[in-house]
């Protein structure tokens, strides 16, 4: 893997995609997309349903390989991921603190600190299914940050949350970006959020064409 140099602004480039595309059968999900994500930056990924946002995030995380193009990662720590939805059955005896430690062993001090970062320390240790939509997304964010990732992917974190809750969530994301200096790729439908919080933007456009066509997608 070729090392990625730091930028002139001394922000380390964590992930760099060059002319990437993913093809399924005869259809290109997306194509000719370029982007880079640096430490301390929030890059928004936007596009209509079917434009390939989820597929693009999987490529960024290394879960799937692009059909064409190249993707480079220079990460000294692991990556974090906050899904759009995670269903928890009400009958499952899962508390807030137990949810935090499902993916690893962490000290009570580290768990408490992560919960305090997102404002959930005041709740105590309630069953997870009693949390509001906004509280649950903040819990997922705290769980991801508990691993201290260098690169964090958030898949529409404001989905199903009211305006007030979404504003709180994005303010927390901004604080975490500043405090941890991690690079963030954030999938969103909200142009307003992009303007308020984004350092860069990737726009995907849904399309179908064969190998002879060129893609209208623009990667910022």
pLDDT score at 170:
85
pLDDT score at 2:
32
pLDDT score at 219:
46
Q: What is the DSSP string of the chain?
A: -PPPPPPTTSPPEEEEEEEEEEEETTEEEEEEEEEEEETT-EEEEEE-TTSSHHHHHHHHHTSS--SEEEEEE--SS-EEEE-S-----TTS--BHHHHHTTTS---HHHHHHHHHHTT-GGG-S-BGGGS-HHHHHHHHHHHHHTT--SEEEEESTTTT--HHHHHHHHHHHHHHHHHH--EEEEE-S-HHHHHHH-SEEEEE------TTS----EE-
Highest mean pLDDT among 2-6, 16-20, 199-203: 16-20
Q: What is the pLDDT of residues 111-167, one digit of tens each?
A: 998 898 888 888 888 998 888 888 888 888 888 888 888 999 998 888 777 788 788
**DSSP-assigned letter for residue 41:** -
pTM of the model: 0.79
Q: What is the pLDDT of residues 8-49, one digit of tens each?
A: 456 899 999 999 999 998 889 999 999 999 999 999 999 888
| Residue 184: both structure tokens together | 């963030």
Average pLDDT rounded to a whole number, residues 104-114: 87
pLDDT exceeds cutoff 50 at 218: no
pLDDT score at 210:
52
pLDDT score at 167:
84
Averaged pLDDT of the chain: 82
pLDDT score at 208:
56
pLDDT score at 211:
52
CA dist., res. 44 & res. 154, Å (int): 10
pLDDT exceeds cutoff 90 at 177: no
pLDDT score at 34:
94
1 pLDDT band (50/70/90 cuts)?
very low
pLDDT score at 83:
81
pLDDT score at 8:
41
pLDDT score at 173:
85
């Amino acid at each position: 893997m070729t090392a990625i140099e730091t930028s002139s602004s001394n922000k380390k480039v964590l992930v760099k995609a060059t002319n990437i595309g993913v093809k399924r059968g005869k259809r290109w999900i997306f194509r000719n997309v370029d982007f880079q994500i640096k430490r301390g930056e929030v890059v928004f990924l936007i596009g209509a349903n079917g434009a390939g946002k989820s597929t693009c995030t999987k490529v960024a995380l290394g879960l799937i390989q692009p059909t064409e193009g190249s993707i480079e990662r220079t990460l000294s720590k692991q990556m974090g991921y906050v899904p759009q939805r995670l269903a928890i059955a009400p009958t499952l005896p899962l508390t807030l603190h137990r949810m935090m430690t499902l993916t690893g062993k962490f000290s009570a001090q580290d768990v408490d600190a992560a919960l305090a970062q997102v404002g959930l320390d005041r709740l105590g240790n309630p069953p997870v299914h009693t949390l509001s939509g906004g509280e649950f997304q903040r819990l997922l964010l705290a769980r991801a940050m508990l691993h201290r990732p260098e690169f964090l992917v958030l898949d529409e974190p404001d989905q199903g949350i009211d305006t007030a809750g979404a504003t709180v969530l994005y303010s927390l994301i901004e604080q975490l970006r500043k405090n941890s200096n991690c690079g963030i790729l954030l999938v969103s439908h909200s142009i307003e959020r992009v303007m308020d919080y984004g350092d860069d933007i990737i726009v995907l456009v849904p399309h179908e064409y064969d190998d002879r066509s060129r893609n209208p997608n623009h990667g910022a």
